[in-house]
Amino acid sequence: MKKLFRTIVIASLTIIIGLTSTELFAGNKDRAGQAGASELLVNPWAVSSGWGNAGMASVKGVDAMWSNVAGISFVNTMDLNFSYTNWLAGSGTSVASFGGLVRVSESIVAGLSFMSMSFGTIEKTTTENPDGGIGTFKPNLMNINIAVAKSFSNSIHGGFVLKIINEQIADMSGTGVALDAGIQYVTGLTDNIHFGISLKNIGPTMKYKGDGLSIKTLLEGMESSITVVQRADEFELPTQLNIAAAYDFNFADASRLTIAFNFNSNAFSKDQFIVGLEGSFRDILLLRGGYTFEKGIFKNIEDADCSNVNKGLSLGASVQAPLNKKGLKVCLDYSYRNTAHWKGTHSIGARILF
């Protein structure tokens, strides 16, 4: 069974990467904006976002369901995580996430998480009522993630995430599915060298349906109006490949300094290089920071070469309070991501580790 599961993971990753590598590594800026479901690229978790997703090779816990699913295999017994994000503070956009992991056998961990992105209340408008006054609606984006990961040995860990995607407004919605796959490799005398690869958002195209695509019109020569249904075009998902590495400098009293690197190849936007640092003092206070580099990141947001409202800098902190000697911990997390024109993106989170 172990050999079969490992073969499936490695073979699937190899096939998927082989089939998509030409498209993934193109980094074609001309394709920017052609993919949908861009909320799949939003990291809703306060820990991993605190150093700009640099820790794809060493991420653990619920955060790994978004970053690199192989990391969930390090959970002891159970991991619960809640996070709230004020996305682009001042824009009225928020993200609420909840996830849980449970060890189901000596080598297998399963997980479930939910992410809901809200844009507040928006005034309804029509061609007859361009100024509104006919009610409001609330757009909502929701992702449900079902994950499973397995430790094949002390060094090799791999897993999959099945994503169910739902986007809706009052009279129109779109539903789709996607698959993530990831592997982490741990080596070194003290397991302090980490390598990781994750392939995200592989799935069929999505399409919107609903009454919002229908209009009533009066054709020439007809006395009564008819309903005309417009066809919605299909759109692809924002496929992404991450290749990451990390190195831990371990000190006395369970203190640690980790340096991490991640190459992020996007099929529908610019490639990114992410570097990060995380320091842990006695596994109680953790400080982290990261920077994301991409073409045009240092230019003004109004410049044609700058296509990202995020300005690259990420900062984060965690406080972990052990409650007993069996590994029970309560953790509080915070992250900040610098943005242009807005007041940054702020995430707060709470975790319970068993």
Interval 117-133: pLDDT, tens? 999 888 888 777 888 88
Decide if 165 contacts 175 (C-beta within 8 A). Answer: yes
pLDDT of residue 341: 83
Residue 122 CB contacts under 8 Å (≥ 6 apart), including other chains: 136, 137, 138, 139
pLDDT for the residue numbered 25: 44
User: Do the Cβ atoms of 165 and 18 come closer than 8 Å?
Assistant: no
Q: Look at residue 20 in the predicted model and tell me its pLDDT.
A: 47
What does the pLDDT read at residue 49?
Answer: 97
Q: Residue 329 and residue 334: Cα distance in Å, rounded?
A: 17
CA separation for the pair 263, 164 (Å, rounded) = 26
- Helix (H) / strand (E) element for 16: namely helix 2-24
Residue 83: the pLDDT is 97
Helix/strand/coil for 176: strand
Q: Is 344 left (phi over 0), alpha (psi -120 to 50) or beta?
A: left
Residue 6 has a pLDDT of: 53
109: phi then psi, degrees, rounded to nearest 5:
-125, 135
pLDDT at 26: 44
Query: What per-residue confidence (pLDDT) applies to 22?
Result: 43
DSSP annotation string for 63-94: GGGTS-GGGGGG-SSEEEEEEEEEETTTS-EE
What is the per-residue pLDDT across 269-309, written as a single tens digit (0 to 9) for each? 889 999 999 999 999 999 999 999 998 888 888 888 888 88
> In the chain, what's the furthest Cα-to-Cα distance?
86
Which residues of the chain have a pLDDT value below 50? 1, 4-5, 7-9, 11-12, 14-16, 18-26
What is the predicted pLDDT for the residue at 29? 64
Residue 265 β-bridge partners: 241
Give the CATH fold of the 2-121+136-342 domain.
Answer: Porin (2.40.160)
State the burial class of residue 248 (Cβ atoms within 10 Å of its Cβ: 0-12, 13-18, 19+): buried
What is the model's pLDDT at position 308? 87
CA distances from 153 to 75, 108, 141, 158, 248 (A): 15, 11, 37, 10, 20
d(CA 125, CA 17): 44
Beta bridge partners of 299: none
**Per-position DSSP letters for 239-306, written without gaps between them:** -EEEEEEEEEEE-STT-EEEEEEEEEEESSS--EEEEEEEEEETTTEEEEEEEEE-TTTTS-TTSTT-
CA 316, 322, 323, 324: dihedral to nearest 10 degrees? 160
Domain ranges of the chain: 2-121+136-342
320 neighbors 331 (Cβ within 8 angstroms): yes
Distance separating alpha carbons of residues 80 and 301, to the nearest angstrom:
38
Among 187, 106, 181, residue whose Cα is nearest residue 147: 181
